[in-house]
């Protein structure tokens, strides 16, 4: 059975590349953030609304392993899945595929962990993962 994923499609531009011509390492992390934010907008709009109120989603770790080069004008499919739920933390996995013109090629694999926090007068405090976020993530486990 194929695992379900949330997909963000991106076309590489020169702004994503370095002087050598391949995609700069930090671009992959930026794409993780974009994929995560679009997922929230599409599947958990209540969480997005709470970000203006008391909720904070704090990135506590992120990383990426690079397996193949990407260059300007490549088409990239960033595929996000749920890797783990632990306490107030959500870990998402990201697979980056070069698509178009043949079989998809796995170019990179990454992960990101966020902590759900609430804003208090004393600062940030751990908060439970919002129910609407749990419901949105469940199909991607």
pTM (predicted TM-score): 0.93
Q: Does residue 107 lie in a domain region?
A: no
Q: What is the pLDDT of residue 44?
A: 97
Query: Has residue 56 been placed in a domain?
Result: yes
pLDDT of residue 16: 96
pLDDT at 101: 78
SS3 50: helix
Residue 11, in any domain of the structure: yes
pLDDT digits (tens, 9 = 90+) for 119-131: 999 999 999 999 9
Based on C-alpha coordinates, what's the Rg of the chain? 16
Q: How many domains does the chain have?
A: 1
Inside any domain, residue 93: yes
Low-confidence ranges of the chain (pLDDT < 70): 1-2
The domain that holds 59 is classified in CATH as 3.10.129.10
- Which pLDDT value is given to residue 131? 96
Q: Residue 55's CB: how many other CB atoms inside 10 A?
A: 18
Strands (DSSP E) contained in 37-74 are 55-66
pLDDT at 43: 97
Q: What does the alpha-carbon distance between residue 91 and residue 109 come to, in Å, rounded to a whole number?
A: 13
Domain carrying residue 127 = 6-99+112-140
pLDDT of residue 62: 97
């Amino acid at each position: 059975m194929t695992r379900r994923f949330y997909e963000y499609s991106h076309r590489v531009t020169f702004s994503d590349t370095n002087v050598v011509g391949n995609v700069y390492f930090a671009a992959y992390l930026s794409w993780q953030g974009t994929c995560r934010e679009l997922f929230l907008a599409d599947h958990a709009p209540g969480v997005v609304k709470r970000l203006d109120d008391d909720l904070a989603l704090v990135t506590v770790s992120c990383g990426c392993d690079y397996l193949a080069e990407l260059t300007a004008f490549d088409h990239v499919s960033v595929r996000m899945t749920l890797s783990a739920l632990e306490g107030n933390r959500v870990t998402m996995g990201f697979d980056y595929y070069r698509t178009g013109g043949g079989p998809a090629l796995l170019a990179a694999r990454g992960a990101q962990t966020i902590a759900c926090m609430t804003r208090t007068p004393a600062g940030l405090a751990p908060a439970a993962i919002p129910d609407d976020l749990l419901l949105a993530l469940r199909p991607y486990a």
